[in-house]
Amino acid sequence: MSLMDVALRRGFFYPSSEIYGGSAGFYDFGHLGVLLKRKFENTWRNYFLALNPNFVEIDATTIMPEAVFEASGHLKSFNDPLTECTECHVRHKADLLLEEKGVEAEGLTAEEMGKALQDREIRCPRCGGELSEVRWFNMMFELSLGAAEADEKAYLRPETAQGCYVSFKRMFEVLRNQIPMGLAILGRAYRNEISPRQGFYRLRELNQAELQIFFDPECLDEHPCYEAVQDQMMRIYAVADREKGEIKEIPLREVGVPKFYGYHMAIVQDFYLKVLKVPREKFRFRELSEEERAFYNRIHWDMEIFTDVLGGFKEAGGIHYRGDHDLSGHERGSKKKMEVNIQGKKFVPHVLELSFGVDRNLLMLLDLAYTEEEERTVLKFPSVVAPYRAAVFPLVSKDGLPEFAYEIYQELRMECDVFFDEKGSIGKRYRRQDEIGTPFSVTVDYDSLEDGTVTLRDRDTMDQVRIQRGNLLSAITLPEV
RNA sequence: GCGGCUGUAGUGUAGUGGCUAGCACUUGAGCCUUCCAAGCUCACGACCCGGGUUCAAAUCCCGGCAGCCGCACCA
């Protein structure tokens, strides 16, 4: 049995439109997947929105007009004219091939570029083979609004971030002109990947949790709480260390990033190590080189998690210093002023983006939790993200035990997600809960009818303690040490 | 998008031209059951989709879709 089997069989996630053979890059969530996702997202909200009273969550549409992506730069940078070698099947960017030969490709159509390639007898740089016709490849899904003729173009957003940037002006006013200001969106984004691979890892429709922090660029090298975290040991995989393949543990102050950026690195690392309980050795920050960085990023470190299912460290999210790229871009595009005026000081705020791929994080949480023991398969989720907090069982299905257990179940479900089961042997019911990661099982037996106590079983140790029914809720919801 | 391999109940598999498509686990109903996948009875459930070859296709051929691996792509 493997992790993906459990995900499928128990209803965490499975291929979308499965009965029609599915479609690569699209997955649906089953009930446990929804619970897990909801808990991850709520944990994320509780943690990151608590950083500052001026950090709030908003929501925005997934469809946005073309002008938004002209201003953001996505139309240009997300859109490549590709040509493929008919011999060795390597793909090249046609505009780059032309510009290497001194031909100005900017603004040319695909046909014109194809013709220009032919006219100059440009062939495959790798094998000299003939090149195919030029076709636009757009990472964004294109839509047309209204009647087909009306040609009002729009796109599915490739990142939730744009929703925050287009809302900036209004939300800044709504939140009474405070800087820094944080706008978070948890929602869907869409990327038309050429070839989605690795199942649930690279999706065409994905969930993101992103926080855009707007701040005064002059304050890039300061943060009121920096002192408290400057000595924190950070797990760092810098560009310079790649040859050695070595992850360093160094204090934050030696990482070499501005304080505002560094403070948030420390906060994010704590989120993984302390809240999600990722083992220290399975977490690192990976610095991206200039070529790897997106067109808008000035400083970029990714959070990476080591998983067995993906066979190594893989990106779970990133911290992006986007400068004024977005607000200035939208200022030009919309002709609306994005400049703020704080006590007479005028500036366009800069953006620090904390970006998380929700689906990826869920996959990684599953991978880290997945444990095969001799007698059982267990998902050792931290309680904060476990789909169910507890399960309630009658020891046997007779003599009034089910009724008593069901009463407890009804009582607990008002407060948290719990599961009730009276089918099969008690051992089997425990194992089923182990396999979906429920931290606690509550069992009602004959003594319960006498004295109102129940047994509470711990998922990881399988130890049981006897407690008063009235103490159950606090016992199962106590924060983990 | 290219090349190689693959596709049988929920899962893992048997079946290589003619079978009522077999088995195990799972699931459901019942019996039994006073704490860790026990046992017994019964039941549900599958040949990825579409064409073709053939008297006959799960099996052979072609196409599609999906998965895995390599190449490319990954803002």
Q: Are A435 and A376 in contact (CB under 8 A)?
A: yes
Question: Among residues of chain A, what percentage have pLDDT more than 90?
Answer: 68
In tens, the pLDDT along A63-96 reads 999 999 999 988 877 777 777 766 656 667 777 7
User: What is the pLDDT, as a whole number, of residue A373?
Assistant: 87
What is the band of A261 on the pLDDT scale with cuts at 50, 70, 90?
A: very high
- The residues of A between 254 and 293 with beta carbon within 7 Å of nucleic strand B are 292-293
Q: Reply yes or no on whether the pLDDT at A198 is more than 80.
A: no
pLDDT confidence tier of residue A437, bands split at 50, 70 and 90: very high
**pLDDT for A481:** 42
Question: What confidence score (pLDDT) does residue A396 get?
Answer: 93
Q: Which residues contact A20 (CB under 8 A, 6 or more apart)?
A: none
For A237-249, what is the mean pLDDT? 88
Any strand B atom closer than 7 Å to A198 CB: yes
Return d(Cα A242, Cα A222) in angstroms, integer. Answer: 29
Question: Which of A260, A257, A280 lies closest to A270, judged by CA?
Answer: A280
A398 touches strand B (CB under 7 A): yes
Question: Among all strands, which nt has the closest C1' to A295 (CA)?
Answer: B75
Angle at CA of residue A398, ends A392 and A399, nearest 5°: 105
A18 CA to B35 C1' distance (Å) = 39
Mean pLDDT of A109-127: 74
Contact, A461 CB vs strand B, < 7 Å: no
The answer on pLDDT for A480 being more than 60 is no
- pLDDT per residue as tens digits for the range A316-374: 999 999 999 999 999 999 999 999 999 999 999 999 999 999 999 999 999 999 998 88
A194 falls in which pLDDT band (50, 70, 90)?
A: confident
Strand B nucleotides within 7 Å of a protein CB: 1-2, 7, 10-12, 26-29, 32-38, 48-49, 64-75
Instruction: Dihedral sign for Cα A147, A152, A153, A155, please.
Output: negative
**Nucleic chain B contacts, protein chain A, residues 308-347, CB cut-off 7 A:** none
What pLDDT was estimated at residue A98?
75
Cα separation, A265 vs A59, whole angstroms? 25
| CB atoms inside a 10 Å sphere around CB A337 | 12
Domains for chain A: give ranges and CATH numbers.
3-72+155-369 (3.30.930.10), 79-138 (3.30.40.230), 388-477 (3.40.50.800)
* Coil/strand/helix, residue A331: helix
In chain A, positions 26-85 with C-beta closer than 7 Å to nucleic chain B are: 74, 77-78, 84
Q: Is the pLDDT of residue A420 over 90?
A: yes
- Rounded to two decimals, the ipTM of the complex is 0.90
d(CA A39, CA A379): 15
A383 falls in which pLDDT band (50, 70, 90)? very high
Q: Is the CB of A359 under 7 A from strand B?
A: no
Give the lowest-confidence range in A155-159, A164-168, A263-267, A311-315.
Answer: A311-315
A389: exposed, middle or buried (C-beta count within 10 Å: 0-12, 13-18, 19+)? buried
d(C-alpha A475, C-alpha A63), whole Å: 45
pLDDT at A119: 78
B17 C1' – A22 CA distance, angstroms? 31
Residues 83-102 of chain A with CB under 7 A from strand B are 84, 89-91
What integer pLDDT is reported at residue A51 of this predicted model? Answer: 97
Average pLDDT value for residue range A442-447:
95
pLDDT value for A121: 76
pLDDT at A455 > cutoff 80: yes
User: What does the pLDDT read at residue A126?
Assistant: 65
**With 80 as the cut, is the pLDDT of residue A285 above it?**
yes
Please provide the DSSP assignment of A219-232 as one string: GTT--TTHHHHTT-
**pLDDT classification of A375: cutoffs 50, 70, 90:** confident
Please compute the mean of the pLDDT values over residues A103-119 and round it to a whole number: 73
Per-residue CB contacts under 7 A with strand B, chain A residues 408-447: 423-428, 430-432, 434-435, 443-446
Strands (E), A233-309: 233-237, 248-251, 283-287, 299-307
CB A11 under 7 Å to nucleic chain B: no
- Write the pLDDT tens digit of every residue in A10-42: 999 998 988 888 888 999 999 999 999 999 999
> Do residues A418 and A408 lie in contact, with contact meaning Cβ atoms separated by under 8 Å?
no
* CA distance readout (Å), A27 to A21, A330, A386, A425: 12, 33, 20, 34
CA of A394 to C1' of B72 (A): 57
Distance measured from the CA of protein residue A21 to the C1' of nucleotide B62, in angstroms? 19
What's the confidence (pLDDT) of residue A479?
62
